[in-house]
Amino acid sequence: MLNDKTVLITGITGSLGKALVRRILSGEMGMPKKIIGLSRDEAKQHQMRVEYMNRRAVTDEVIYQNFSQRLEFRIGDVRDFHSVASALRTADIVFNAAAMKQVPTCEYFPYEAVLTNISGPQNICRAILEHNLPVELVIGISTDKACKPVNVMGMTKAMQERIFTTANVNSPNTRFSCVRYGNVLASRGSVVPLFLDQIRSGGPVTITTETMTRFLLSLEDAVDVVFESVRKGKRGETYIPRVPAALMVDLARVLIGDRKIETKVTGIRPGEKVHEILVSEEECQRTFRRDDYYVIAPILPELSESPAAIQTCFDGEYSSADNLISVDGLRDLLGKNGLLDFEALSHEDEVLR
């Protein structure tokens, strides 16, 4: 699917961007001709560049050979149309992983979230349309918070989903689709690294509410969802993983283990939900199973099959409050993902591997 293609990844130095690069370069989807990474953090780009060139000493040639490498980095911002248009010029496949994703930050700086999470996707669609670019596929990385949004991050991500859906009508030669998932285990800024840091510091481990639940998805699972959308997705569809969920108080309990560390209930942060929802009551009317995934059909009738042709699989919303994993199951899941080995997780870069 990606063999001999030029792949553009926005937000390449984030947790998902790095995981995408590693998996793409493994060749499991075919070996691409080039991966272009667009982001605005030169230090993270340079660190990633050196890592992939397997060099201990940083020399000028690492920078000067940038455009001759299979993995090419570009400094730019999805907020800037010219940056986006330039990076898209030779792209065949686009993964839009650039985002402002911290819920409280988006609440305090809502317009900044609008610029990245809404204007960024719009710039991608605009560049493809106005420059008639032969981009084959664009996949937007969305979030559970886009479903029944109650915070700025979710509202802006919901707009991204609709922008990409509509782009299928305006640019019919390009397939635009999305993937939507919840909490990613050990991704930067997520709850597991926070709990681990608090445990290493001797506590307390802070829990917002004792009833809070979250879906549990590894970075590898997140990439699997993206790749499945590449393989089998259709225009305007949103792919949803089938994943377990857990109480955050149980997550804290498993990570703490036998250590004498107290927990402290702090209350919900600005804009935070008690439960994650991946499919709403309204969306369940157009949600169906495809292999091991749930798929939400596009809302626009120009892109969707007749509602009567959709074999729906939900009677109500798909929430993290349903079908919670047991404490033993949670312990097995964390152990399988290497999140109970505190020696191996002593550095953030290792946590985010």
In a domain, 193, yes or no: yes
Query: Residues near 285 by Cβ (< 8 Å), separated by ≥ 6?
Result: 307, 310, 312
Beta-bridged to residue 205, according to DSSP, are 263
The strand order across the sheet containing 93-96 reads: 71-75, 34-39, 6-10, 93-96, 137-143, 175-181, 238-241, 293-296, 287-290
Residue 305 lies in a domain: yes
Look at residues 248, 246, 257, 251 and name the one whose alpha carbon lies nearest to residue 200: 257
For residue 57, pLDDT over 70 is answered with no
Q: Is 109 a member of any domain? A: yes
Q: Band of the pLDDT at 351, cuts 50, 70, 90? A: very low
The answer to whether 159 touches 117, Cβ cutoff 8 Å, is yes
Q: How far, in Å, CA of 335 to CA of 256, rounded?
A: 13
User: CA 10, CA 20: separation in Å to the nearest integer?
Assistant: 11
Residue spans of beta strands (DSSP E) within 144-254? 175-181, 205-207, 213-215, 238-241, 245-247
- Percent of the chain exceeding pLDDT 70 equals 90
Q: Which domain holds residue 270?
A: 6-351
pLDDT at 219 over 50: yes
According to the model, what pLDDT value does residue 191 have? 84
**Residue 353 — pLDDT band, cuts 50, 70, 90?**
very low
**Which of 21-30, 70-79, 189-198 is predicted least confidently?**
189-198
Catalytically active residues are: 145
pLDDT at position 59, please? 54
| Distance in angstroms (rounded) separating the CA atoms of residues 109 and 250 | 32
Q: Which two tokens stand for residue 221?
A: 């699972």
How far apart, in whole angstroms, are the C-alpha atoms of residue 172 and residue 151? Answer: 32
Would you say residue 72 has pLDDT above 70?
Answer: yes
Q: Is 266 exposed, middle or buried (0-12, 13-18, 19+ CB in 10 A)?
A: exposed
Mean pLDDT to the nearest integer, 105-109: 95
d(CA 85, CA 123): 8
Q: Give rounded-to-5 percent helix, strand, coil for the chain.
A: 40, 20, 40
**Max avg pLDDT among 28-42, 176-190, 269-283:** 28-42
- CATH number of the domain that 280 lies in? 3.40.50.720
- 152-156, 181-185, 276-280: range with lowest mean pLDDT: 181-185
Whether residue 63 is predicted with pLDDT greater than 90 in this model: the reply is: no
Residue 1, domain member (yes or no): no
Encode pLDDT of 227-266 as tens digits: 999 999 999 999 999 999 999 999 999 999 999 999 999 9
How does pLDDT run across 137-151, given as a tens digit for each residue?
999 999 999 999 999
pLDDT band at 349 (very low <50, low <70, confident <90, very high): very low
Give the number of domains in the chain.
1
Q: Is the pTM of this model over 0.85?
A: yes
User: Where does residue 27 fall: left (phi above 0), alpha (psi -120 to 50 degrees), or beta otherwise?
Assistant: left
The residue-averaged pLDDT of 53-65 equals: 58
Residue 56 has a pLDDT of 53
Q: What is the pLDDT of residue 64?
A: 55
Q: Between these two residues, 160 and 271, which has the higher pLDDT value?
A: 160
Spatial CA neighbour of 115 closest among 75, 142, 82, 78: 78
